[in-house]
Each structure stands twice: as structure tokens, then as C-alpha cells.
Chains A and B, each alone.
Chain A
Amino acid sequence: MADWLDELLEAMPTEPYPPDLAVQVQIRLAKTRRWSKWVQNGVRLVMVMTGALGLWLLMPRVEMLVTAISPISLARIEEWLSAMVRSPSQALLGLSGIAITWVSQLAAGLEAELVLALGLLATPALYGVISLLSSGISQEEAII
């Protein structure tokens, strides 16, 4: 433990420190803080704009996405349950088929603009979650 401390002490300059060192350090610190606040505000502004753009792109396409998904009715569930009682393996096979059809319908509804809108919406949301989760802990422990 003492070895590296000795080395550091030996590396320290022998001449006395300049009288305005404390002031210079404070000025530098204030400048760094100001700059990081500017960057933080800039990132926040970009994130808000990205989220707004994502919402603007997403809104007209929500209905299209909802209509692309076929509704799951109680009759279908009942039908599947009775198939399960008759033959479990056939029913599971049928269920996987239904799931794949449902997912492919959903995937078909995802157009390029919609994917872009979702990405634009998710980015600020993720940034918000990370900011909120890391705001209560020290900088060293922060998530990013």
C-alpha cells in the first residue's frame, strides 16, 4: 500500500505551488461543470425532439398496427382447449402454428416508417430510464 504512495510523493514537484493555484482549480472546475451541464441539456433537448418525432410518426400508424393483429376470441381459446383434451401434441402443434401466424401478421404490419418511429420513441425512453435509475448514485457507480 505504501509503495505507490511513496512513488507519488517522490514525483511531486519540490518547488512551492503558485499562489493562485486554488483559484485556477476552481475556475477550471466551474468551466468543466458548465460544459457538462451544456452537454447534458443538449442531449436532453435532442432526446425530447427524437421522442416527439417518434410519436408524430407513430400516431397515424397505430391503428394500422392494431388492425394487422387478429383478435384472440374466447371461442378460439375454447376451441384450442378442447383440441388439447383430444390430442395434446396436435393442440401444441396447432398453437405454435397460430403463434407463428400471429407474429408474422404483426411483422407484416411493421413498415419501415413504423420501425423508425418505434426506434425514435424507444431511444429517449431508454435514456430517461437510465437517467432516472442512475440519478440517485455516485458518478463512479452510474450506469453509463
Chain B
Amino acid sequence: MKRWRMMVVIIALAAALIMFVSALLSDLTWWSRPLGSMSMVRTPHRAWRLALVQDAGIQVNIAVLLAGLVTQFMAGVLVLYLVPRRVHHMAHAIAIGWRQLLRYLVVGILLAIVLAVVGLLSILALHTMPLLIILAMFFFLASLGGVVALTYQLGRGLLSQAGWSEGSPLTSLALGTSIIYAITRIPFFGWVVLVLLWLTGAGVAVATRLGSGKPWSLLPLMEDW
């Protein structure tokens, strides 16, 4: 247990370090670049070699970093308070194991394909045209719920291994958010992780029927009237 406690502290410190380094080396102000260049390689910050605190760019970067972290955490808090039972179901489903998590990722990928195709084909008929936006929003909300559950379960898993599971669920969420947010700040790798996370999140949300824990079934339609 002592080893796990040390590990949790090291992971939290490493997350903080990754975030800090990303603020020094990357340009986080995405709005200052044209949208077309979003996927291009991020150039190192122009003044990262200079004195850190004096450079206004780095200060902005750190402010953006903190704002992003707080926003992500607050969004998670909102989801936890709005649908605690559903998050619990999703977190429980994630905790089963890696194979199950991989299954959710596959569900998420296949679901993204199905929704993208249905959304694209829906624009061919005038009356189904809004489906493109509705399905995109559904996917976004399902992914958000799933990612919050993943984040919460990550923090909870680590804290329970360290024997600190008696604390508030918000502590688990804060730890999970810090780790995930730090990983997604790593250039290139972060984007891959982010996409995988959102796909897995969507998969978890759909597989647990948006956290209701009930199976997907047509049985009610087969029951007697």
C-alpha cells in the first residue's frame, strides 16, 4: 500500500510536470492559428529559451492550461452531480478489466462509423437532414459521459489501491482529470489518446445504455399487451 501511495504521488507530480512542460514547449493558443493548420506540427514556443515568467506567451499558455484543466474538471463535476447513478454504472463496467475496455473501444469505433454514415446519408432527404447534427450531438454527449466515467474510475482505482478510497468522489475525479489532461497535452501522442478516449467513452456509454445498466433489448416489444 505504501508503494501505491508513493506511486500515486509520483503520477500526480509527473502529470503536473508534463502540463508545465507542455505550456513551455507548445503553443496552446489554438485560436491564434488558422483552423486549416490545426493538424500541422506544433512549433516550439518562440521564447521558450528565455526567462520563463517574463515571457507573456508562456504566461498565456499557463493560463490556458489551467483554464482547460479547471474546465474539464468542472464539466466532470457537473456530470457527476447530474447523473451520479449512471456514472457509477459506467465506472463499474470499466472496472471489469482491460479486455472489456478494448471491447468498448471497438463499440465506440463501430458506432462512430454507423453514426457518421447515417448522418451523411441523412442529408440526401430533406426531412432527415437534422439527423446529422442530432447524431453528432448524441455522440458528443455519450462520449462526454463515458470520458467522465473513465476519468473518475482511473482516479478511483489509483486511490483505492493506495488505500485512500474513503475520500470524496471529487478527489478521484480530480486525480483522474489531472492524469488524462496531462497525457492529452503530449504532442501527437496526446491527440491519439484523446481520440481513443472519446471513442472508448462513447462505447462505454452506449454499452451500458447511457449508464442505465439495463441491456439493449427488444424484449418489451415482444411482451403481451
Which A residues form the contact surface with B (CB < 8 A)? 71-74, 103, 106-107, 110, 115, 118-119, 121-122, 125-126, 128-130, 132-134, 136-137, 140-144
Question: Does B35 sit within 8 A of A, measured CB to CB?
Answer: yes
**Chain B residues within an 8 Å CB radius of A126:** 110, 114
Q: Which stretch in B44-52, B115-123, B193-201 binds the other chain?
A: B115-123
Q: List 24 A-B contacts (CB under 8 A).
A: A71-B36, A73-B35, A73-B36, A74-B35, A103-B132, A106-B120, A106-B123, A118-B121, A119-B121, A122-B113, A122-B114, A122-B118, A125-B111, A126-B114, A129-B107, A129-B114, A129-B206, A130-B216, A132-B103, A132-B107, A136-B215, A137-B215, A141-B217, A144-B218
Out of A72, A110, A132, name the residue touching B110 (CB < 8 Å): A132
Out of A106, A130, A140, name the residue touching B219 (CB < 8 Å): A140
Question: Does B31 sit within 8 A of A, measured CB to CB?
Answer: yes
Which B residues form the contact surface with A (CB < 8 A)? 31, 34-36, 103, 106-107, 110-111, 113-114, 117-118, 120-121, 123-124, 129, 132, 206-207, 215-219
Complex alpha-carbon distance, A7 and B221, angstroms? 28
| Residue contact B123 to A74, C-beta cutoff 8 Å | no
